[in-house]
Amino acid sequence: MPQLLLRGIELGDVQAVLFDKDGTLSISEPQLLTLAQARVFLCLEQVEASIQPELKQLLERAYGLKPEAICPAGITAVASRDHNLIATATALVQVGLGWPEALSISEEVFAEADARDARRSQGPDAGTSATTKGLLDCLQHLRAAGVLCAVISNDDMAGIEHFLSSHGLAGYFSALWSAEHRPRKPDPAAVHGLCAQLGVAVGRCALIGDANSDLRMAVAAGIPHPLALGYTAAWSSPPPLLEPHPLIHAWSELKVR
């Protein structure tokens, strides 16, 4: 069985590698920054000027929005679309709106922001996030070694498929688990569901992600601790991976033999 190595250190036997998408396969920060900024702008347009400064501060804090950067551990980077929507509605309630109105505004704002999202624009590769450096070589190496690859993400299926097809990567992945699957990340049962699709035992998989929630999910699902790996190279500031998991700083550090 193939052996996974990180910087020459043996991590364990693997039959499959499960990849997070945003911040792992893709450099998603520029688009997430644009999306978060659009959501803030559109929300502010919906409320009275007197409460705009407070709402702006609440939304930026909730989204993990910083000047020209996104917090890798914030909800924009990590959470699903509907969790972001609920956080937005909650911020609107905090400045005095009722829940039905806050939820309605949030849904309108998210729909408009999605319409502006360059990722959804027309064209074979228009607006898609760039791949992380060295990803293709890594995927080719895994395939040559007979290791299956899969995506486990809180993006929707359309977003995952658009990213993979835009970069010619779809053929490298044997299964996808999206926000539309149940249960979704970070429920450990999501890992079980994806491994069942692959026909591989959870204990023979590695998982690579850029959030502590990914790593905790992996271990809770039964992936051996050394095979729950953090990826650090997709953000302008490294994600705060506080747990003692192996960290990948470049795809060239990961090998199979």
- Among candidates 207, 170, 178, 183, which has minimal Cα distance to 15? 207
Q: Are residues 94 and 216 in the same domain?
A: no
Structure tokens at 175: 């299964």
Query: Is the alpha carbon torsion for 52, 57, 59, 60 positive or negative?
Result: positive
Q: What is the CATH number of the domain that holds 203?
A: 3.40.50.1000
Domain boundary among 85, 120, 155: 120
Q: Are residues 38 and 58 in the same domain?
A: yes
Q: How many structural domains is the chain composed of?
A: 2
Residue 8, CA distances (Å) to 4, 246, 256 in order:
9, 12, 10
Q: Are residues 229 and 181 in the same domain?
A: yes
Q: Are residues 160 and 249 in the same domain?
A: yes
Let me know: does 139 contact 131? Beta carbons within 8 Å: no
Domain boundary among 103, 120, 137: 120
Q: Are residues 17 and 33 in the same domain?
A: no
Output the pLDDT for position 122: 44
Per residue in 8-43, pLDDT (tens digit) is: 999 999 999 999 999 999 999 998 999 999 999 999
Per residue in 185-206, pLDDT (tens digit) is: 999 999 999 999 999 999 999 9
d(CA 42, CA 158): 24
Output the pLDDT for position 119: 47
What 3-state class would DSSP assign to 134?
A: coil
Tell me the Ramachandran region of residue 196: left when phi exceeds 0, alpha when psi lies from -120 to 50, beta otherwise.
alpha
- Domain coverage including residue 168: 3-28+129-256
Alpha helices by DSSP H, the chain: 29-45, 52-63, 75-78, 81-94, 99-116, 135-144, 157-166, 188-198, 212-221
d(CA 191, CA 169): 21
Output the pLDDT for position 73: 86
Q: Are residues 137 and 64 in the same domain?
A: no
pTM confidence score: 0.87
Query: Is the alpha carbon torsion for 157, 158, 163, 167 positive or negative?
Result: positive
Q: Are residues 50 and 82 in the same domain?
A: yes
Q: Are residues 157 and 143 in the same domain?
A: yes
Output the pLDDT for position 244: 85
Tokens 């010619």 correspond to what residue? Answer: 168
Q: Give first-to-last CA distance, the chain, whole Å.
A: 9
Structure tokens at 32: 């997430």
Q: Are residues 81 and 170 in the same domain?
A: no
Output the pLDDT for position 125: 44
Say which amino acid occupies 219: V
Q: Are residues 208 and 164 in the same domain?
A: yes
Q: Are residues 42 and 137 in the same domain?
A: no
Low-confidence ranges of the chain (pLDDT < 70): 118-127
